[in-house]
A and B are shown apart, each in its own frame.
Chain A
């Protein structure tokens, strides 16, 4: 009976009901889609930043991340590799030795990151190999070969086949210097990285930099990148303390970027909240108008024996029907947009330069279609709309029958 009555009442004020439903539909669709777009674009930015070079999980000597130096290296690489090889969650582990060196060409000398990597494994944990634009990527047998960032090569005025020299220091703080032959040039799209990075084969540079059994980082690729934090915790427990190592997931190594995305989300939702505030106000106003127009009718219902509770339930049911009539299609509409833009990401090629300025190499941003998130947003919207309706509902149900019947 309640449902019948509620439905009749909704239909009797068709225009107001329609506006309420449309507003809720619009608000829910915007909330669902904005949430999906923020989440999707943030994931894409982080993924791109993580996969270009830093990777998902890093193991370093204790304190190396805060205070990088030759006294905080991984000093027993073999022991660490033994532990990592025994972990079923680890898909791959590879070592890096990062140092800063002066690269000297015939025209220019520049300070740059000179990193020794295991080329074959490195190709699986970062996008270095995929970023090749000229020449060839490094191989595990290379000697004196260097793989340079495009901007760095331009500044040094060298190209594939050119020679240059490096002067740096080894793991034992000794001087290390040699001539290098440019084997390939890469471009990740991150200006800073391409402008200041050079890579060599680890086995070549090991004796030059006294790297025997030593690394600055060990990069771990998990089977499931979504569980990288669990793996970091697990490895922290399983690594022998005497190795003096710390395990950091990308959430820690790239905490600045993670925080930046959080700030972006906060400001995004802050903006949406202004729009929702006014929408909820309009819903309150419409509910008030709809209920006020029926005050007399409510008085009669009370006079013939309906309890305050029954009236409240009836009005709440009307509100719930209107809310669900707006929120459900709104959620579906927002979800449909989220799915579409997940499959066909927004192209931001005009914005590429601006993203690069903040070390983000992305030209397309997808939305993220997540049922859990869509349901969460729909529940939030339903609760907010019901809250907005609550004040007029409480006001009218508290009226005494005689008072309500006198209402004009």
Chain B
């Protein structure tokens, strides 16, 4: 019986090939557009988050209590913290890096700018923040004497400094003396995180401590996890194990709530787009199915007259609309995956809008991402739209009596 229904549904669609093709194409094209949009928009959002996590917040960051409100040199985490078992051997942690931060003034012979000094152990930071991928000019090296510096490209641009040039760093040390230090620009990085690119100066952590009159300690411990989904779990573990009256342990989304808000907005936006597009697509299927049912009233009348149940006819009509939907889904999902895979590999190059994208902390090449839920959401939406689209035509069919139908034609 099912085979017969399948056969009849397939033949009915085949008889109206142009119409069926147009509906399939409509669903396919709209799904392709939606998938492209979702993949690129999500890629954009995730890239911004990834840049921030790597260059600053990590998945989790540890600060001395009160440091974020009053980032003074007296509020540092002790070096001994690094020896804590939970931070040394925790299997959830992929990498960690300590940072010693302070603000100062960076000057050349012609210009001066406010700067965020970041003393780091370079080898650790390179791995942790993926600095090798972010290097725009020069090399990642503080020099044998430790007097090298790596600048954010925005800062380097504003000061018009190039590799090898000398710069003068001034800042107030812990004893409130104003100190100055000559550094050589060894590298320029482009992190994709605008505040970092516009203000950061990386220097050797030991040199930085000495310059600021601090013998030990650091401002921030940034942790990156193997699986970011475990961030809250690790935060809980750390809060249990460490003295939370002295240490603040914050997730990236607590440090950058706006980024999380952006991700949530993007999700809602995608969902609304899906709803709108598939509601309209449902109207298209409804139009086709209504005509398709109405112009076959005589055919259905004969079928009912020879003993076919209404349930079987309903199943056939439903199968026809589902086949149209599935055809469109296969077409759209196939072309969507192919397009997104290309953009996952090569990225969407928006270098022509470089300045504008950087103003929003975005990379100029946006790599798409593909999530399984794009397809499940779309499939559910398509099936719902196809099912909903046959409700009215079937009701009209049910209301018509076979004899009346046969006589009326």
Confirm or deny: B284 has a beta carbon within 8 angstroms of a beta carbon on chain A.
Answer: yes
Give A19 to B110 CA distance when docked, in angstroms: 68
Confirm or deny: B1 has a beta carbon within 8 angstroms of a beta carbon on chain A.
Answer: no
* B280 A23 Cβ-Cβ under 8 A: yes
Number of interface residues of B (CB under 8 A): 58
Bitwise interface map of B from 15 to 40 toward A, beta carbon under 8 Å scored 1, else 0: 00011001101100110011001000
Give A258 to B353 CA distance when docked, in angstroms: 10
Would you list which residues of chain B between 99 and 133 have a CB under 8 Å from chain A?
103-107, 109-115
B194: nearest chain-A partner, CB-CB: A358
A352: nearest chain-B partner, CB-CB: B258
* B110 A70 Cβ-Cβ under 8 A: yes
B359: nearest chain-A partner, CB-CB: A256
Q: How far is the CB of B378 from chain A (nearest CB, A)?
A: 12
| Interfacial chain B residues near A346, Cβ < 8 Å | none
Q: How far is the CB of B203 from chain A (nearest CB, A)?
A: 15
* A274 B258 Cβ-Cβ under 8 A: no
Confirm or deny: B207 has a beta carbon within 8 angstroms of a beta carbon on chain A.
Answer: no
* B359 A293 Cβ-Cβ under 8 A: no
Q: How far is the CB of B159 from chain A (nearest CB, A)?
A: 9
| Interfacial chain B residues near A91, Cβ < 8 Å | none
* B19 A259 Cβ-Cβ under 8 A: no
Contact partner of A358 among B273, B353, B360, CB < 8 A?
B360
Counting chain A residues whose Cβ lies within 8 A of the other chain, the interface size class is 35 or more
Give A101 to B105 CA distance when docked, in angstroms: 7
Confirm or deny: A357 has a beta carbon within 8 angstroms of a beta carbon on chain B.
Answer: yes
Q: How far is the CB of B247 from chain A (nearest CB, A)?
A: 22
Give A284 to B375 CA distance when docked, in angstroms: 26
| Interfacial chain B residues near A222, Cβ < 8 Å | none
Known contacts A282-B284, A282-B287: A274-B19 contact under CB 8 Å: no
| Interfacial chain A residues near B262, Cβ < 8 Å | 354
Q: How far is the CB of B295 from chain A (nearest CB, A)?
A: 8
Known contacts A275-B273, A277-B29: A168-B172 contact under CB 8 Å: no
A273: nearest chain-B partner, CB-CB: B33
Confirm or deny: B158 has a beta carbon within 8 angstroms of a beta carbon on chain A.
Answer: yes
* B353 A259 Cβ-Cβ under 8 A: yes
Confirm or deny: A71 has a beta carbon within 8 angstroms of a beta carbon on chain B.
Answer: yes
A257: nearest chain-B partner, CB-CB: B359
| Interfacial chain A residues near B287, Cβ < 8 Å | 16, 19, 282, 285-286, 289
| Interfacial chain A residues near B276, Cβ < 8 Å | 275
Bitwise interface map of B from 336 to 369 toward A, beta carbon under 8 Å scored 1, else 0: 0000000000000010011111111100000000
* A112 B359 Cβ-Cβ under 8 A: no
Known contacts A19-B283, A278-B30, A288-B19: A257-B356 contact under CB 8 Å: yes
Confirm or deny: B170 has a beta carbon within 8 angstroms of a beta carbon on chain A.
Answer: yes
| Interfacial chain A residues near B358, Cβ < 8 Å | 256
Stretch from A224-232, A240-248, A262-270, A375-383 that touches the partner: A262-270
Known contacts A68-B110, A69-B111, A358-B360: A278-B37 contact under CB 8 Å: no
Interface centre among B105, B107, B194, B355 (most CB of A within 10 A): B105
| Interfacial chain B residues near A23, Cβ < 8 Å | 280, 283
* A109 B178 Cβ-Cβ under 8 A: yes
17 inter-chain pairs at a CB distance below 8 angstroms, sorted by A residue, are A101-B112, A104-B178, A111-B112, A111-B113, A256-B359, A257-B359, A259-B354, A259-B359, A277-B33, A278-B30, A278-B280, A281-B30, A281-B281, A285-B288, A289-B19, A293-B291, A353-B257
Closest 4 interchain pairs by CB? A259-B356, A69-B110, A111-B105, A109-B172
